Amino acid sequence: MGRILISVFLAGGLFAQQNGKLQLHFMDVGQGDGAVLISPQGQVVLFDAGEDLKLKSCDKPLAYLRQLGINKIDYLIISHYHFDHIGCVPEVLAQFPLTGAAYDRGASYPGDTYEKYAQSVQGHRQTAEAGQTIRLDAGTRGEVDLSVIAVNGAGIATTNENDLSVSILLAFGSFRAEIGGDLSGAKTGTYKDIETTVAPLVGRLDVYEVHHHCSSYSSNETWLETTRPAVGIISTGDGNGYGHPAPDCVARLHAANVAAYWTETGAGATPQPGLDTVGGSVVVEVAPGAATYTVRTGAGSPVTYPIAGAGGGGAVTPAPVIVVPPPILTGGPKYAWSKRSTVYHYADCAMVARISADNLVQSDTPPDGKRLHENCPQKPAEQ
């Protein structure tokens, strides 16, 4: 699919709370999920607005949004239809009207929570498509691109609602962050391994909102090796019945040298001093053209991290949207892979069309040190 670019720019001074920087607010909503982006010029994007499992209340996200000083939402992006991700959308939009589009995975889902959500975004709703990009503050030094990297399983057949989550890659200068709802990285039970397919499409990250509240099915080794985030945000709630964050997920983050920021202690792994920070809502700020970003919580002083793609040194700056598929070799069994990925594909795999020409390698023989992409989806025309 070709790139779809939606450019939006509104003059500064029309929005509250802008400070000339990119702000990412990962809200403490208990055992649920919700994040807010405020662009340098003050545009507001809401990613999910979940109802807390334990409290059955929307007080937390509403209070956080009020203290930000915003009065409306410019865009809403919904990962999937579980209540801990959409349960508070109607109440939020009743107080902070939605002025632009609401992007979700399309289709429908059984239950009153979904029906109330669908009613609340009526007239604004659009289906997210891979390759689509929303551009904020267009034409300024601080443009922000929000690209849809994956939706509805990224070409992998699945009916698991978590696996169907929309994955968004945020690009701001050299800074990269990914928000992917409850994507799975394990092929077990009803879950499919979506993370391994999506990882090379995302590329190197600075900040990663840990999928699925850091469940056992989240953040597999291939995902972490490929995206190499410095910071992971775990949205979890005290006393939850899921055991989130799971000890094995947290251990994988530690092994990959990810600094983990937890909104609450949860009911699973025990946070380790020096590796984990439990401090309520997490705020990430990046100045236009900066080589660093800061992370602050309610616990301790802000911490500054270098942006992986800034200043050269071999860091990866991914191209999230591929417009023209590269040519495929023909005439026998061939293989293809990205220089920056730990997996390789058969040449007729649909994923090959998403590898940039600069990174594409093709050969009659498979590469050493890479793993074959299992159950590789065929070309789109053959599906």
At 261-300, the pLDDT tens digits run 999 999 999 999 999 999 999 999 999 999 999 999 998 8
- The encoded tokens of residue 152 equal 């509805």
Residues 298 and 344 in one domain: no
Question: Largest alpha-carbon pair distance within the chain?
Answer: 62
Residues 277 and 341 in one domain: no
For 106-164, the pLDDT digits (tens) are: 999 999 999 999 999 999 999 999 999 999 999 999 999 999 999 999 999 999 999 99
Residues 235 and 95 in one domain: yes
Q: Assign 377 a pLDDT band (cuts: 50, 70, 90).
A: low
- Asked, for residue 327, whether it belongs to a domain, the answer is no
- Asked, for residue 155, whether it belongs to a domain, the answer is yes
- The sign of the CA dihedral 277, 256, 203, 218 is negative
Residues 98 and 232 in one domain: yes
pLDDT of residue 10: 36
For 198-230, the pLDDT digits (tens) are: 999 999 999 999 999 999 999 999 999 999 999
Residue finishing a domain among 259, 285, 306: 306
| Cβ atoms 181, 80 nearer than 8 A | yes
- Asked, for residue 315, whether it belongs to a domain, the answer is no
Running DSSP on this structure, what letter comes out for residue 214?
Answer: G
pLDDT of residue 5: 57
Residue 181's region, left for phi above 0, alpha for psi from -120 to 50, else beta, is left
Lowest mean pLDDT among 218-222, 256-260, 359-363: 359-363
Q: For residues 100 and 257, give the distance between their C-alpha atoms in angstroms, rounded to a whole number.
A: 38
For 230-252, the pLDDT digits (tens) are: 999 999 999 999 999 999 999 99
pLDDT of residue 371: 77
- The encoded tokens of residue 151 equal 């939706």
Residues 344 and 300 in one domain: no
| Structural domain total, the chain | 2
Q: Assign 325 a pLDDT band (cuts: 50, 70, 90).
A: very low
- Residue 233: domain span: 4-306
| Cβ atoms 307, 317 nearer than 8 A | no
CA 339 to chain centre: 23
pLDDT of residue 1: 39
Lowest mean pLDDT among 11-15, 125-129, 253-257, 348-352: 11-15
Residues 261 and 349 in one domain: no
pLDDT of residue 283: 97
- The encoded tokens of residue 23 equal 């702000």
pTM for this one? 0.79
Residues 254 and 106 in one domain: yes
Residues 250 and 376 in one domain: no
- The encoded tokens of residue 181 equal 């709802």
Residues 371 and 252 in one domain: no
Residues 224 and 282 in one domain: yes
- Asked, for residue 140, whether it belongs to a domain, the answer is yes
